[in-house]
Each structure stands twice: as C-alpha cells, then as structure tokens.
Amino acid sequence: MSLRVDPGPIAKKIRIPGSKSYANRYLVLAARYGAGAVVENLPHADDVTLLVQALQAVGIKLKPTKAGWEFLNSFPECESSEGPLDINVGEGGTTGRFLLALLSTGKRTYRLHLAGRLSERPWSELIEALKSASVKVKLQDNIIEVQGPADRTRLPKTVSAARSTQFLSALQLAFYHDNVLFDGSQITASLPYWKMTVASYEQLEFNSIMTVPLDWSSAAYPICYAAVTGEVITLPGLRPDLHQADSALYELLKQRGAIRSTGGLIRQAGLEVRGLSDKRPIKMDLRHCPDLTPALAFLCAHLEGESVLEGLEALVHKESDRLLAIRDLLQSVGVKVTATASSLIIKGGLSLGPWKLVTPPDHRLVMTAALFLRAHQGGTLEHPECVQKSFPGFFSAMGF
C-alpha cells in the first residue's frame, strides 16, 4: 500500500497518544493485582490492543470505565483448565515478552503466535530464566509454547540486559505480586526502561488507578519536524518524563531554543515547539534511547555540519534492521551518511524531491519518511498502515 504525502504545514495542535511502554507495564501489573486495578488513557496502538485481547482470552474480566478499563479478577486465578490456548501477540516486543512471563505463573499451556521479525529478535535470555524456574517453554518457528507454573524460588535474580531490558522487566512485572524483586543494577543500556518498570509497580503500590502518560516516542516526530521547519506547534498534556528514555529530546532542544513548557496548572500543561535557534551538528549517545534515532536522523539531516549518533547496537533487533534502514532512507533523499555497527554519521544537506520512499514495514521508519516528504517536495511512501503499531492516527493527527 502506498500513500501520497503533499508538502505543507502540519497541525498547530497535536494530540499525542499514551505511551505503549507504560501501558503494557500497567496492564501486566493490573492482571496480577486483580479487582480494583484500573488502567486509564490506554493508546489504541496494536501492541497494547493485542495485549488487552490476550488478557481477555486467558480469562481476565474487564469493565469499561470512562477513561479506560477496570480489572475484575486476576491471573492466574482466572485461567481455565481446558487444553492449549493459541494467542496472537503481533510483532511487539513488550507484548510478547511481557505476556510470556505473565503466563508462566499459570498452569495452562499457551501458544504465542509471533508476527513480523519478532521470532527472530532476542528471546533466549528470558526463555532460559523461565526454564531455570521449571517452566516448560520452547520457541519453534513463529510460536512460543509455555506452561508453568514457575517456581519463583528458582528464578534468577538478574538476567542479561545487553540485548534488551525487556527480559528483566517482563520477569519483574509478572512476579512482583509474588514479592520477588529482581536486580537491575548491572543494566548498561536502555536503563530508563527498567526505571519505568520500577516506577510502574511503585505507582501501583501508591494508587490502584494508573493513568498512562503521553508518549515521548510518538512526540519525537512532530517535535523534530517543527524544530526543523520553524513551525510553531503545541503538544497539550506532554511533559518531560525521566522514565521515558525519549524524553532526552526535551533537554537537547531546550538548549537550542526550540522547546518550552507551557501552562501553569497540571491539566493545562504541555509543550510549545518552534524552530531551532542553534543549528550546529550534534553528537549524542543513544544507548539508553535507541527508539529516538529515526526522528533524530531527520533532525540531523537539516543541521549545518556532521552529526554523530552513537550507541545504536540495539537497532539491529527492532522491527527491521533499523540502523541500516535509516542509512538507506537518508541516502534516498540525498543525505551523506555513514553507518557503522553502532553509529550513524550524518552530514546535513538533502537533494531535491519529490521522492518515492520505500522503507521496511517499520512504524518508526515510515513516520520518518513522512516527515521528509512533508517538509520538502512531497511524494509517496510505502506501508503507511504500520504506524498503527505505536501512533494510531499519525497522519491525521499531524494534519497531513
């Protein structure tokens, strides 16, 4: 499927969806907590919708509220004793990994069907941790079969997070209700995501009504667009969040005069974004916020000089080999870029469009391609439907 994107301005006020990273953490915690837990402001992203559907399939009863879902029972108490259950988890890492750990607390056999590249992405660290706790689990082709219950006394207290912090987060979310605490002190990359996990269960201890914050990963696209083009936009309700790794963009652009907080009252607070006052190149280590790379690559393509984005090893394990896909996208619009195993070196300057941009079906690549088309002479892009994974309604929200 192709989509034509015409050049022009974007919407002056853009509503950002809730964070799917927070949402899936809250959902797993609420599934173990049970009656009385409420999760509000859930985004309609595929990764979250599929997790909600999976929870309902395994026996969780949900009551709709004005702003979200109220949980009426808990897992594994809700599960039936019937035969194996097949569950579609799509291609989301948090959806699949968090659900695998959760289901290991039950007794029934579950078969998780993985889509896209998810079966090829890292799993072994989590699988081996569960096996050590007497869980029967195997990955074959695009299906993971799991049967517990896990012996929580035999769970390892830490798991390597070199390839993903989701392994340790999955275990902590699934077994926090059992008073099992895991050690994240050795995490050297994507640390904010582990801190988000800790903040999530601390939030549940404080209040069983959990409201999902707005998503900085989604916000990065309109923010970088406005910073490049000089358009003035507002993002209602969006605030800096130390537990969202991509919130690092706030400090970067604040120093360059492109972003500021607005509104005094919490309900009126938000951000205003305008053009950069400082267009010098940047050098930034993204090992803690690799998902920020595509939007930052768009920004760097418009800076005056050679920017360096480092710490990108984790990008190979995304929905595409995102490091090479970003390189190819930049080259297709005339940007001079060099990719190593862990970095992108980007020299500002583009060719003239319009362009026909072809990227892998990776939501973050498609949104980045859309920015290039809108900011310049327009053209077409492929796979527009895949933005549903993280930013449903991206094109309409941006005013395309």
For residue 48, the one-letter residue type is V
Half-sphere exposure of 65 (CA within 13 A, CB side): 18
Q: Let me know: does 155 contact 170? Beta carbons within 8 Å.
A: no
176 and 278 co-located in one domain = no
Of 149, 176, 211, the position where a domain reaches its end is: 211
The strand ranges marked E within 239-316 are 259-262, 270-273, 283-285, 306-310
Using alpha carbons only, give the angle 318, 320, 321 rounded to the nearest 5 degrees. 85
Q: For the chain, 400 residues long, give each residue's pLDDT as a single digit of tens.
A: 899 999 999 999 999 999 999 999 999 999 999 999 999 999 999 999 999 999 999 999 999 999 999 999 999 999 988 889 999 999 999 999 999 999 999 999 999 999 998 999 999 999 999 999 999 999 999 999 999 999 999 999 999 988 889 999 999 999 999 999 999 998 887 899 999 999 999 999 999 999 999 999 999 999 999 999 999 999 999 999 989 999 999 999 999 999 999 876 555 689 999 999 999 999 999 999 999 999 999 999 999 999 999 999 988 888 889 999 999 999 999 999 999 999 999 999 999 889 999 999 999 999 999 999 999 999 999 999 999 999 999 999 999 9
Of 211, 234, 267, the position where a domain reaches its end is: 211
Of 211, 228, 248, the position where a domain reaches its end is: 211
Q: Kind of pairing, strands 270-273 and 283-285? A: unpaired
Count up the domains in the chain and report the number: 2
What sign for the dihedral angle of Cα 275, 278, 283, 289? negative
358 and 240 co-located in one domain = yes
172 and 224 co-located in one domain = no
59 and 164 co-located in one domain = yes
Q: What is the CATH number of the domain that holds 42?
A: 3.65.10.10
Half-sphere exposure of 49 (CA within 13 A, CB side): 11
142 and 225 co-located in one domain = no
Query: For residues 132 and 241, what is the distance between their CA atoms, to the nearest angstrom?
Result: 35
Can you give the pLDDT at residue 111?
98
Dump pLDDT digits (tens) for 210-220.
999 999 999 99
pTM: 0.94
Q: Let me know: does 37 contact 29? Beta carbons within 8 Å.
A: yes
349 and 200 co-located in one domain = no
124 and 201 co-located in one domain = yes
Can you give the pLDDT at residue 396?
96
Structural domain range at position 322 = 2-17+214-397
174 and 298 co-located in one domain = no
145 and 29 co-located in one domain = yes
Q: Let me know: does 256 contact 277? Beta carbons within 8 Å.
A: yes
219 and 329 co-located in one domain = yes
81 and 227 co-located in one domain = no
233 and 354 co-located in one domain = yes
